[in-house]
Amino acid sequence: MIQVLIAEDDKLCRTILEKNLRNWGYKIISTEDGNEAWKVIQEGNIQIAILDWIMPKMDGVELCKKIRSHKWDEYIYIIMLTIRSKQTDIRKGFAAGVDDYITKPFDTHELKARLQTGNRIIGLQNQLLDSQKKLQEIATHDTLTNLLNRYEILNVLSDEFHRSLRENKPLSTVMLDIDYFKKVNDSYGHDVGDEVLVEVASRLTGTLRRYDKVGRYGGDEFLAVLPGCDLKNATRIAERLRRAVFQERIQTEAGQLCVTISVGCASSESQSHKSIEYLVKFSDKAMYHAKNMGRNCVIAS
């Protein structure tokens, strides 16, 4: 249901607006002056605002300028209600950011039609926002596992690394790789391999702390970023990840498969790891050490 703000100091006009809009299925919030209307708008969820040009404390044009000077999550469609019909006044209103006008005394059919125009604009805007969100999701996430992709997990690592320097707190990285994953693809096909990747990703995200991040680094490799975590605690978390993958077989169309991971950890505590590149490099190196040690284990660097 679209929520409409009515800002009108004339009681009779406000009552008529409220009655009509409720009959047309709108949710209404009414105010009597510009300051009160501005407070309501700041609380959010207003999609259409019907503003009287002349009202106490802040007139409609001032309020419109104030609305347009802020960035909102959703566009607010503004209809100015006024007795003014001179071209100079109309231009002044549009310059302030008004979307449409209706003059007093207003015709209810005209008001309804202008509100429907606002509805269409809001609908188009919502479609655009949905498309932008989907594009953002595609740009930052791996389409198979829905984890952060390589580019985005490295962005997260960069942000967390600089924050760890500012706050003088440790930061750890965990690199992990599915053991014998090529054999899974070769033996059962890539569809089964995809099932394994999706389930491993799900178990990783379900095991990590809520403020940790994990991304698909490439192929069957995953990178986890652990803010505020020293090497000792990172190793404990890595061990939980290993157990989460290993302790229960993964159900696939080829049957239940026993899947293990090799895990490497590194921390910014070490003097040799004082850069993003070294954190990734040494956690990757530790992961390959885990593979050389027989796989299905955790090695800290």
Q: Please answer whether residues 200 and 245 qualify as being in contact, where contact means their C-beta atoms are separated by less than 8 angstroms.
A: yes
Judge whether 108 lies within some domain: yes
Judge whether 144 lies within some domain: no
Number of domains within the chain: 2
Q: Please answer whether residues 79 and 49 qualify as being in contact, where contact means their C-beta atoms are separated by less than 8 angstroms.
A: yes
Shared domain check, 154 and 285:
yes
Range of the domain at 220: 150-300
Shared domain check, 118 and 30:
yes
Q: What is the pLDDT of residue 226?
A: 97
Residue 119 has pLDDT above 80, yes or no: yes
3-state secondary structure 236-253: HHHHHHHHHHHCCCEEEC
Shared domain check, 154 and 13:
no
Shared domain check, 160 and 100:
no
Counting residues of the chain whose pLDDT is more than 90, the rounded percentage is 51
Residue 50 amino acid letter: I
Q: pTM (2 decimals)?
A: 0.65
d(CA 7, CA 63): 10
Residue 272 has pLDDT above 70, yes or no: no
More confident residue, 274 or 2: 2
Please give the mean pLDDT across all residues of the chain: 89
Shared domain check, 160 and 128:
no
Q: Which of 96, 117, 139 is the last residue of a domain?
A: 139
Shared domain check, 296 and 176:
yes
Q: What is the pLDDT of residue 84?
A: 63
H-helix segments, 69-177: 87-96, 108-140, 150-167
| CATH classification at residue 168 | 3.30.70.270
| CATH classification at residue 117 | 3.40.50.2300
Residue 78 has pLDDT above 80, yes or no: yes
